[in-house]
Structure 1
Amino acid sequence: MTFFSKIIGTGSYLPPKRVSNQELADQLAARGIETSDEWIVSRSGISARHYAEANVNSSDLGVEAAKRALEAAGLQANDIDLIILATSTPDFLGGFPSTACIVQNKLGITNGAAAVDVQAVCSGFIYAMAMADSMIKSGTHQKVLIIGAEVFSRILNFEDRTTCVLFGDGAGAIVMARSEEPGVLATKLHADGSQSHVLCVPGHVNGGVVAGSAFLYMDGQAVFKLAVTVLEKVANEALEIAGLTADQVDWLIPHQANIRIMQSTAKKLQLPMDKVVVTVDQHGNTSAASIPLALDAAIRDGRVKAGQIVMLEGVGGGFTWGAALVKM
């Protein structure tokens, strides 16, 4: 028997604390760091971001997004038989127990559903989708909850204006289920560990103490050059696998990192910007959460409709990148 996988529900959640560029500029000025709304917008397209309160973790954001995705799918929590959660900011040091297990407990899932975290930074959600697609098609699972959840504000160096203005907190989720007709048409994943130094948190724990830096480091110019190259290539690879062409894509939903990267990718794929879903202006770079946040926003406001072809793609530290071509 042939199995297919399909997205049957989406959800997202942003913590209530919204910080505009001007508010952030004022906070940085108090530290002696100069920036402005114009400087941030011109370089990234970002106007605001959301920060979680100190007692709120990735699992808490993920649970809220998951509840909305389950509601949209018309499912109860115990209908889920697998949770895959993508995050670079897990609840616990060392990443265990997994944030996926914490989410399972907070959702009240008691059926023994498998739960696992995926770490591919900003590409994590695409990696998780590809894994879920394979597991559903193999027949081992029927209903998979995929979550991207991040509290990146915890690892930002607010003395470095080139990075601290770019990132925010949030979560997005989808439910993928076994289907009689194809939903996920193609996935393609890549990594290049030789570029691990261009985007990383270069610290580690030794004897209970952080050795090195616990703050995010990014070589912005190197990341930009890599991103615009690999996003075009992986999109075309996914199209080739599915036997489709770029002009058949109704919507491009890329990782929401930087508007200039998104514009460059669209141009290379010969897609107009009115076919690109952009939410980075409202929440900044939320890493693994950014793609499902944008997808959920576009579904709920009516842009993305059933039957349309959507290209999802991400790129992040590792260096990792990937794409998923989906029929909604």
Structure 2
Amino acid sequence: MSQFTPFVLCIILAGALAQSPFRIMTVTVPRPEVTANIGSDVKLPCSYSIPAAGSGLKPTINWYKGDDGIATATKIFSLSYHGPVQVPEAYGEFVGRVSLENPAADATLKLTGARTSDQGRYWCAVFDSDEHNQLGMDSKSVLLTVIDPNVPQDQGTGRPGHVELHVPAQRQVFQGEDVLLPCECDDCHWTSHKTWFSVSFDNTWAATREVIATVGLCGGHQCHGGNAHVAPAFQDRFAVSTGGLKISATKRLDTRRYWCQVEDMTMNSRGSGVDAQSVALAVVPSIPESHCTGKPAGVYQHPDDCAKFYTCAEGGVQYDGVNTCPDGLYYDQALGYCEWASLVTCL
């Protein structure tokens, strides 16, 4: 082996570490409820934020309709790409009636000739073509109400209300820390039921959904707590309450997108009692803060193992975990790279 090989190996390793480990995209719906008259055209607003694709591929944009939740929603429109070729496709009764208003800018869906049967909850879903995992897809919902202008509306109570969830788009924690993923619901009643789940990177949800936890807010009008249940596979470190999902002593494998769905049986109009949103959790590897306290930014040999090293940022914060040199090499702090073990002094 050449004497320069260890240096080259370390340069390659350092270059890989310098890149961000996560690409996280998010979908946003500026107006969660839209109203249209029968026969009119209507726009269901949806936008997304996605890191620049290294491959140059554009994302896939799907729209679904489902009053019982995202897991059982039916696809009504899809925009995919085969290289630079755009392939839009509508399905069922929406053929010839739906299109993206400006696909180069956002995912807003235009629906022509609104019908009574169109009323309900729609789901805007975007899939990152460069990140085929749970962090590379997201969805938000829009509730469409279709009104017949010839039928007098109830001026006393107005249209029935609807539930709306508030979930943070992203959370990042250091490995080993506890984290609470909140899921707050507007206009939820005592009949509400929340489900936390995850799904694989796919344009369907039902077949890949894994339930993590459920919480029934109340069992009756007189209620001082909910009935919480965590699935057996998650019971060691997960807990659920009306306030959200708590994960104790986070691990790298906890990095995923967590969905919170609420079902409120009090709401009886189409889609008004169901909503679902997700939070993307990124668990970043870390070592005890004391290893970087008082040290300037730089890379350091690990005090417990010469073959390992870690990086400190400004302010004494460690940010990319503990890394290991290739077999047979130790990290030489003076030289700043991995070297043959016989040539390195362990500090």
TM-score, normalised relative to structure 2:
0.29
TM-score, normalised relative to structure 1:
0.31
| Greater relative contact order structure (CA < 8 Å, 6+ sep) | 1
Of Structure 1 and Structure 2, which has the larger fraction of its residues in helix?
A: 1
Of Structure 1 and Structure 2, which has the larger fraction of its residues in strand?
A: 2
Larger radius of gyration: 2
